[in-house]
Amino acid sequence: MKFKTLLPLFLLVLICTWNQPVILAGSPTTDSASTATVSGVVKFEGKVPAAAPISMAADPSCAKQHSAPALNQDVVTDGKGGLQNVIVFVADGLGDRTFDQPTQPVVIDQKGCLYQPHVVAMQANQPLELVNHDPTSHNIHPMPTNNREWNKAELPGTKAEETFSREEIAIPLKCNIHPWMRGYIAVFKHPFFAVTKPDGSFDLRGLPPGTYVIKAWQEKLGTSTQTITVGANETKAVDFVFKARH
């Protein structure tokens, strides 16, 4: 008798939960109403250092791809001081949350004997694809301090794929054949990072509500830090300002 009384209740619970999503451990929430966004702009204040021209005379196949001398990308700004190629990321506040790495590769093109883009960011164990569009060979050589160092020759028209297993901000990248070729790769254990656009803007989306340490890293200007608190479905503005180092 007791079984007959409980059976309808059991069936009702089963029906109500049958179509509910299963959230796997380590998966970020997809409910946009429960997450937060941090948006802002990184700016350079003061006189912008002049970009030095790059001499490619050592390899004429590189030089002839440029109608005017290529310029170094140490500090790149727009007309309003927006600072490009800055890595903005969550440095603390995520606790022991874990996140699956993307399967889509981050791509660095070798074109005009330059790394394009100059700065990239990715998650640990996410594929990194390096493509040689140049008519000359390159030698890809990242120089990490917290990951495995590797060094690969790459013929024209070919590509190489690698991964980095540990967080590191940021890994210098060079070409042993063309010493002017330099770039940076930042590796994170979470997905909350961005590289600033040409106008210096960035967005960190999908953050769980909480208090976070947000850092901005620039290859020549160092690091700037802010602490913020964001609630569910909140967008908070956070701006950073860098000045020339003397």
CB neighbourhood size of 105 (10 A): 16
The alpha carbon of 218 is separated from its chain's Cα centroid by a whole number of angstroms, namely: 12
Q: Which amino acid is at 164?
A: F
**Dihedral in degrees, nearest 10, Cα atoms 89, 93, 98, 103:** -10
50-67 per-position pLDDT tens digit: 999 999 999 999 999 999
Q: What is the reported pLDDT for 20?
A: 38
pLDDT in tens, 138-173: 999 999 999 999 999 999 999 999 999 999 999 999
